[in-house]
Amino acid sequence: MSENAASKPWAGRFAEPTDAFVEGFTASVGFDQRLYREDIAGSTAHARMLARQGILSADECASIVAGLERIAERIEAGDFSWSVPLEDVHMNIEAALTADIGEAGKRLHTGRSRNDQVATDIRLWLRGEIDAIQVALQKLREALLGLAEREAATILPGFTHLQVAQPVTFGHHMMAWHAMLERDTGRFIDCRRRLNQMPLGAAALAGTSYSIDRDYTAELLGFDAPCENSLDAVSDRDFAIEFVSAASILMMHLSRFAEELILWSSAQFDFIELADSFCTGSSIMPQKKNPDVPELIRGKTGRIFGHLMALLTLMKGQPLAYNKDNQEDKEPLFDTADTLRGSLKVFAEMMARLRCKPERMRAAATQGFATATDLADYLVHKGIAFRDAHEVVGRAVAYAIQQHRDLAELTLDELRRFSPAIGPDVFEVLRLDGSVAARDHIGGTAPSQVLAAVARARARRDCST
């Protein structure tokens, strides 16, 4: 047998070395080395369990644990050489351990396989990523709550079909985004709960004949319990798909939010000012201030959607149990987590420094007859059926359009041409402030309701921490 073949952990079956191109093509160490912390944590727990069960001696366990700690220190210090011929993070660490402590290093792999090892590493890594994402999500939610509280009474035109519909407040609008992010938070909590089952001990696919204690290993690693079925344990990637699905929904929300920031910061809207540090200029047009951060987040959403489709496609045709296809799960998963964390971080910082332009928002709300529905409701309160009131207001709007005036700018005599039920008190409902104040119920845009919604959101946050 050649020296190249003999260096492989599976070399006994093979009579010739791996093709040089195939060796590089099949290796994953270039990207899975970022799992080294999780791999060392899993190996440490596995060694302690083996020693507790009498499969390893206490001295062997101590030597393994100390050796793994030294390897972690070397990797952290940048003093560790990753080998492509050793294929992946697992074999690189095992080979380094054996070179350091000798025979005991070879005993570490007793009762496990790279199949359950990598499945455990990924779950450990993703659990940590979800925790970090929750922190980033909370920072963005706090920024929105602060904005909502500060701008609870700031008038903003509400849109449907991107046409002025009814007046709302900027604070109420921020709370709509907060509601989406609160659902996103719940999805990641649920995803974390489901993934927190431990594959280690499932071995290649059928479990092991050694008298291992999977409950003890799960306890050491902070898992809720071991995976129930060994076949499913090594081949399941539902947790990865579920994570990227939750990430896709969150990125969709951020993309919609980004689109509004892009519109609102344009000269045509001019509702907000983004801090200069989140924008760039033009190489040719000196007046430009481009909202690059929202645009880039809007663009990055597509790559996350692509990763979700890639993982679904990766798994759709696989028979049980583990297949080499599953090596392709890591790069989309890694990039999803990295992109999501970066997007949340910059979004939170950007929103914390966002400046509103209340005068521009209010001026825009006076266009498009935003209080027309309020006039219809006013007529209903006067005893007119809503459908009849709707027609009355429609005719009044048509007249106002001809006059190039808003409804609130018409005189009482002009308004009474369309219904004698209209009285002097009509101007209370045609005012923007009166319109938003009238929506004084849970979920409404009245400033008092916005402040109450902020308080409830903070109470829910405090209860969940």
pLDDT confidence tier of residue 17, bands split at 50, 70 and 90: confident
Same domain, 438 and 350: no
Distance CA 119, CA 116 (A): 5
| Amino acid letter, 20 | A
Average pLDDT on 285-308 reads 94
Q: Which of 1-10, 349-358, 387-396 has the lowest mean pLDDT?
A: 1-10
Identify the CATH number of the domain in which residue 394 sits. Answer: 1.10.40.30
pLDDT confidence tier of residue 287, bands split at 50, 70 and 90: confident
- For residue 388, tell me if it sits in a domain: yes
- For residue 76, tell me if it sits in a domain: yes
299 has a pLDDT exceeding 60: yes
Tell me, what's the pLDDT at 10?
Answer: 58
Same domain, 324 and 457: no
Tell me which residue range forms the domain holding 420.
364-464
Same domain, 421 and 316: no
Tell me, what's the pLDDT at 9?
Answer: 66
Classify residue 423 as left (phi > 0), alpha (psi -120 to 50) or beta: beta
- For residue 194, tell me if it sits in a domain: yes
Identify the CATH number of the domain in which residue 79 sits. Answer: 1.10.275.10
Answer with the residue of higher pLDDT: 5 or 267. Answer: 267
| Amino acid letter, 8 | K
Same domain, 130 and 278: yes
Answer with the residue of higher pLDDT: 208 or 461. Answer: 208
Same domain, 334 and 427: no
Q: Is 282 a catalytic residue?
A: yes
Query: Three-state SS for 55?
Result: coil
- Which two structure tokens, joined as six digits, stand for 212? 């291992």
- For residue 358, tell me if it sits in a domain: yes
- HEC per residue, 215-243: HHHHHHHCCCEECCCHHHHHHCCHHHHHH
Distance CA 166, CA 200 (A): 57
Average pLDDT on 136-156 reads 97
Same domain, 151 and 91: no
Catalytic entry in 282, 381, 448, 464: 282
Where among 92, 110, 128 does a domain terminate? Answer: 110
Identify the CATH number of the domain in which residue 270 sits. Answer: 1.20.200.10
Per-residue pLDDT tens over the stretch 339-364: 999 999 999 999 999 999 999 999 99
13 has a pLDDT exceeding 70: no
Residue 375 vs residues 55, 141, 153, 419: alpha-carbon distances, Å: 82, 35, 21, 11
Tell me, what's the pLDDT at 2?
Answer: 37
Same domain, 284 and 156: yes
Tell me, what's the pLDDT at 465?
Answer: 66
Average pLDDT on 290-310 reads 97
- CA proximity to 428, closest of 366, 369, 375, 356: 375
- For residue 2, tell me if it sits in a domain: no
The total of structural domains in the chain comes to: 3
4 has a pLDDT exceeding 80: no
Where among 57, 89, 110 does a domain terminate? Answer: 110
Same domain, 86 and 162: no
Indicate the average pLDDT of the chain. Answer: 94
For CA atoms 384, 386, 391, 395, the dihedral sign is: positive
pTM over 0.85: yes
Tell me, what's the pLDDT at 25?
Answer: 83
Tell me, what's the pLDDT at 22?
Answer: 76
Average pLDDT on 4-19 reads 61
- For residue 434, tell me if it sits in a domain: yes
Per-residue pLDDT tens over the stretch 359-385: 999 999 999 899 999 999 999 999 999
Answer with the residue of higher pLDDT: 43 or 461. Answer: 43
Same domain, 206 and 66: no
Average pLDDT on 438-448 reads 96
Tell me, what's the pLDDT at 14?
Answer: 65
Where among 362, 382, 399 does a domain terminate? Answer: 362
Same domain, 309 and 162: yes
Catalytic entry in 81, 161, 283, 441: 161
Q: Is 209 a catalytic residue?
A: no
pLDDT confidence tier of residue 3, bands split at 50, 70 and 90: very low
Same domain, 119 and 98: no
Q: Which of 25-34, 100-109, 301-310 has the lowest mean pLDDT?
A: 25-34
Rg for the chain (alpha carbons), in Å? 31
Tell me, what's the pLDDT at 7?
Answer: 61
